[in-house]
Structure 1
Amino acid sequence: MITAPAPTSQPAPGAAPARWQQLWREAVRDPAELLALLGLPELAGRVSASAEAQFPLRVPRGFVARMRPGDPHDPLLRQVLPLDEEDRLVPGFGLDAVGDLAAGAGTGVIHKYEGRVLLVATGSCAVHCRYCFRRHYPYAEQTAAAGGWREALDYLAGAPDVREVLLSGGDPLSLSTAKLAEFTRELAKLPHIRRLRLHTRLPVVLPERVDAELMAWLGGLPWPVLMVVHANHGNEIDPGVAAALARLRGAGVHLLNQAVLLRGVNDGVEALADLSARLFEAGVLPYYLHQLDRVAGTAHFEVPDEQARALVAALAARLPGYLVPRLVREEPGAPSKTPL
């Protein structure tokens, strides 16, 4: 479960917080307020107090502004509202759906795949997605940034076969740019590292995070940088998001998107085709379409494999290949993502 209450970055003493930090702190955290903003008080009876207590609501107001007022089926609202469906116990849905803990190689270090290592940089996120596969992850004990990144860097120094480092979380861009730079200064001392990848939802849910300081850091890195952003529906990409993505491209960052196939959000050909089109217009290539990771509390989002394959086949018949994401599942112990 993500427990960090605020971005793990602080302004210098006496300095005003960055705009993105202030917007983070102003995020909606009360389901009743969210429903009032959208004119949907009738949904209050479906909100799960227990699910909200275990995995609290958090959603930036800019993301709320992209939701359709009065629409109880809005695809963005469905991603963040804690409903009583989360309370159902469903066989096959557990606490560590993708085997992160079994692949742990140190504090916040996950080494599943040959040649690359993932660092759970932080447990903090700007938005709490109800389908999050790490919603039960023990972030309090497993954060790579703790202790000045020392344990993670020591592991990487002793793993000369690793060529690529992935920063994930939580969301690595919830860390201050100074904290990220602290890591990359030390990482640059390891000659076997050839690529840096960031998995982040912040450019989509809080595009203000893509500020001048972040751009300067990204533009000065000594490796090719890939950023895998996360949008599930075309309505998530508004002009502010498109501008943030353009700034990232201007810093030389390669942009990919991974989405999760979610019932009631994007489980239709029209929604998936529109998402691919909007991503491409914003300079982002569709990369993966993940089948749901079967973590407890998320069964109501699951789309059957047969339906998922049919959707992607219909998408492939409609769009050029570069706009069709690969349908995959992450399976514990597998050497790579499993194509479906």
Structure 2
Amino acid sequence: MIPAALTPPHAAGAVRWQQLWREAVRDPRELLALVGLGDVATGMSEAAGEQFALRVPRGFIARMRHGDASDPLLRQVLPLDEELRPAPGFAIDAVGDSLARAGQGVIRKYRGRALLVATGSCAINCRYCFRRHFPYGDETAAAAGWREAVALIAADPTIDEVILSGGDPWSLSTPKLVELTDALAAIPHLRRLRVHTRLPVVLPERVDDELLAWLGSLPWPVTVVLHANHANEFDAAVDSALAALRGAGVTLLNQAVLLRGVNDSVDALADLSERGFRAGVLPYYLHQLDRVQGAAHFEVDDERARELHRALAARLSGYLVPRLVREVAGDPGKRPL
């Protein structure tokens, strides 16, 4: 018998991902108790949690080091006093999403691509999220059955790739995703579909048979861009979910954010690339932090970032070295550093 902890997330009889979503921890004190810590020692802030709520699945918490206030997974999700300190140069719209709005939940920044803000929901709230202040209530492409978003894409023959983002697009039910892709399939100039999602890492149970069947039915090549920042985010359940995605013909890439106190060392970055590759994921981008209000304590300066990237390139094979980039509003693509 396969131990319950190693049961493939997509297997028949696996716990439904929606139930695990509902059971996510939302109380910072409960989170700290689960990892054997007290709130005073960690700098935990209730006020920061009220501004941007805590949400973290219990499976992700199980990967944190017990009793370690500096754990790199804990640091990504715990609301801290530091978030409330004023930081010059940090803004609500850090990457110019509002200026690139093309329609209801549609962002057009780069030629040939349309990004759909599919939903505002995520299974995990990362404290450095560049869309933590985004007006999701007014701006989701799923509104009104995707009609405005699909019509906009259909009317522009220069768009050959659709990117599903959010929030996390895989927080939507699979029938809702089918609704979108059925409509997109009627657009002859589309050639590729890309999904930006953190769920296979933080809630691998989302990769169920229904999702895999949907992926296998799509008429385009599909690339899934994951988001993991530290090697400890991978475990057997994540490996199983990623193997299932590869089995469905999906290309897997990873983008990480360079975060002070999380992965700002050559060892941590090398471990991330190597651990991801063992799970079938190629490194894609290493992003410099988007300068969003509340995230200044995660920033690594550019000189240090370049130094780390050079050291990483000297250590690893080229295909294991992500591109070091920054997103700058108005640029035609990610800006290399």
| From 314, 320, 323, the counterpart of 1:326 | 323
Residues 73-100 of structure 1, C-alpha deviations (whole Å, 9 max, x = no match): 0000000000000001111000000000
Alpha carbons of structure 1 residues 254 and 45: separation in structure 2 relative to 1, 3 Å: closer
- 2-structure distance, mates of 1:34, 1:86: 18
2:208 is matched with which residue?
211
Q: Is the 8 Å Cα contact of residues 108 and 114 (structure 2) preserved in structure 1?
A: yes
C-alpha separation between the residues in 1 aligned to 2:15 and 2:62?
21
Q: Deviations over 1:267-291 (max 9, x none)?
A: 0000000000001000000000000
Matches within 5 A, 1:250-289: 250-289=247-286
Paired residue secondary structure (2:98): coil
**Helix, strand or coil: the match of 2:252?**
strand
Identify the residue that residue 187 of structure 1 maps to in structure 2.
184
Alignment match of 2:54 (pick from 54, 57, 61): 57
Measured in 1, the distance between the counterparts of 2:39 and 2:30 equals 13
Paired residue secondary structure (1:283): coil
Choose from 293, 301, 306 the match for 1:304. Answer: 301
The answer to whether structure 1 residue 30 and structure 2 residue 24 are counterparts is: no
Residues 1:176 and 2:150 aligned together: no
Q: For 1:66 and 1:226, how far apart are their aligned partners in 2?
A: 26
Normalised by the length of structure 1, the TM-score is 0.94
Q: Which amino acid aligns with 1:150?
A: R
Task: Name the CA shift for 1:44/1:107 in 2 (closer, same or farther; >3 Å).
Answer: farther
In 2, distance between residues paired with 1:18 and 1:77? 24
Aligned pairs, number: 325
Percent sequence identity over aligned pairs: 72
Equivalent residue number for residue 197 of structure 1: 194
State the Cα distance separating 1:18 from its structure 2 match.
6.5
Q: What is the DSSP-based 3-state SS (H/G/I as helix, E as strand, rest coil) of the residue aligned with 1:196?
A: strand
Distance apart, 1:49 and its partner CA: 1.8
Q: TM-score, normalised by structure 2?
A: 0.95
Output one character per residue of 1:87-140: Cα deviation in whole Å (capped at 9) or x when no partner.
Answer: 011110000000000000011000000000100000000000000000000000
2:108 counterpart of 1:111: yes
Query: For residues 90-239 of structure 1, what are the structure 2 equivalents within 5 Å?
Result: 90-239=87-236
Instruction: Return the offset for 1:42.
Output: 4.6
Answer whether contact 1:35 1:43 (CA < 8 A) is retained: no
Shift of 1:50: 1.9
CA contact (8 A) 1:108 1:142 kept: yes
What are the within-5 Å matches in structure 2 for residues 6-21 of structure 1? Answer: 19-21=16-18
Tell whether 2:291 aligns with 1:294.
yes
AA of the residue aligned to 1:162: I
Measured after TM superposition, the shift of residue 43 of structure 1 is: 3.9
Contact 1:256 1:284 in 2 (8 A): yes
**Cα gap change, 1:204 to 1:43, in 2 (>3 Å):** farther
Q: For the residues of structure 2 that align with 1:152 and 1:190, how far apart are their CA atoms?
A: 12
Contact kept, 8 Å, 2:42 with 2:69, in 1: the verdict is: no
Distance in 1 of aligned mates of 2:134 and 2:263: 26
Shift of 1:45: 6.6
Which consecutive residues of structure 1, in runs of 5 or more, have no partner in the other structure?
1-15
- The one-letter code of the counterpart of 1:87 is L
Is the Cα–Cα contact under 8 Å of residues 83 and 296 in structure 2 kept in the other structure?
Answer: yes
Q: 2:70 aligns with which of 73, 79, 92?
A: 73
> In the alignment, is the contact (CA less than 8 A) between 2:119 and 2:169 conserved in 1?
yes
Give the letter for the 1:281 counterpart: R
Aligned twin of 1:3 = none
Contact 1:119 1:144 in 2 (8 A): yes
Would the aligned equivalents of 1:122 and 1:175 in 2 still touch at CA under 8 Å?
yes
Q: Indicate if the aligned counterparts of 2:29 and 2:39 stay in contact, CA closer than 8 A.
A: no
* Partner residue, 2:81: 84
